[in-house]
Amino acid sequence: QVQLQESGPGLVKPSGTLSLTCAVSGDSITSHRWWTWVRQPPGKGLEWIGEIYHSGSTNYNPSLKSRVTISVDKPRNQFSLRLTSVTAADTAVYYCANPSEMALLWWGQGILVTVSS
Amino acid sequence: EIVLTQSPGTLSLSPGETATLSCRASQSVSNNYLAWYQQKPGQAPRLLIYGASSRATGIPDRFSGSGSGTDFSLTISRLEPEDFAVYYCQQYDSSPLYSFGQGTKLEIK
């Protein structure tokens, strides 16, 4: 069973950079899996941000691609999200997740990130 | 980009009844890569169904998924109090890889 735990600042200033980390346990990040980020604005639906394979290959949501970077840290068994030029519209609960059979099976508990001055 | 539309927006039912939730895609979903999730307040989504009709591990058989192409449904039989939540459908395609419906809220009548 894969366990995921998000961490990072809960408050980011407008125009700043949002940086989050997802620690993976119960599995090696070098297993044959893609590692994913999803977000959910308060009271709204889910939005897929992007994913990374342990080789470093990435796929991003076109709506966020210009601002998003996902990276992997194999020695620490974790992966990270970086979102630049944030606005209030980026306020959301950010989840890391892990897919199986083209669906998102394992989820972290989520972390609320608020963009505000 | 495939757009998923869920209906109804809110469904009011009583425990013991059967719920039928719909998810319609703007174009055919590849290989029926359609999943359903349950989300309760303050919790992460939980995968219920993948591949349109396969139950995830540990999901009661009261939950069933069906459909193909552009029309999919999630049926919850014999509603239990813990089933009242928001449900999302999700498809896997080329770009973006994952997209979600807007959700259906299942509330107690």
Measured between CB atoms, does A80 come within 8 Å of chain B?
no
Instruction: Determine the distance in angstroms separating the CA of A110 from the nearest CA of chain B, rounded to an integer.
Output: 7
> Rounded to whole angstroms, what are the CA distances from A6 to A47, B68, B95?
17, 35, 25
Supply the pLDDT for residue B74.
98
* Under 8 Å between Cβ of B43 and B86: no
Percent of chain B with pLDDT over 70: 100
Which residue in chain B has the smallest CA separation from A95?
A: B44
Reported as a pLDDT band with limits 50, 70 and 90, residue A31 is: confident
Of A46, A59, A105, the CB nearest to B100: A46
pLDDT digits (tens, 9 = 90+) for A51-103: 999 999 999 999 999 999 999 999 999 999 999 999 999 999 999 999 888 99
Measured between beta carbons, the chain B residues lying within 8 angstroms of A107 are 44-46
Of A46, A61, A103, the CB nearest to B47: A103
Measured between CB atoms, does A62 come within 8 Å of chain B?
yes
Supply the pLDDT for residue B1.
87
Tell me the one-letter amino acid at B70: T
Instruction: Determine the distance in angstroms separating the CA of B84 from the nearest CA of chain A, rounded to an integer.
Output: 16
Supply the pLDDT for residue A42.
97
Q: What value does the mean pLDDT of chain B take?
A: 96
Supply the pLDDT for residue B27.
93
Instruction: Determine the distance in angstroms separating the CA of A48 from the nearest CA of chain B, rounded to an integer.
Output: 6
CB-based burial label for A98 (10 Å; 0-12, 13-18, 19+): buried
Whether the per-residue pLDDT at B59 is higher than 80: the answer is yes
Supply the pLDDT for residue B96.
84
Whether the per-residue pLDDT at B94 is higher than 80: the answer is no
pLDDT digits (tens, 9 = 90+) for B6-37: 999 999 999 999 999 999 999 999 899 999 99
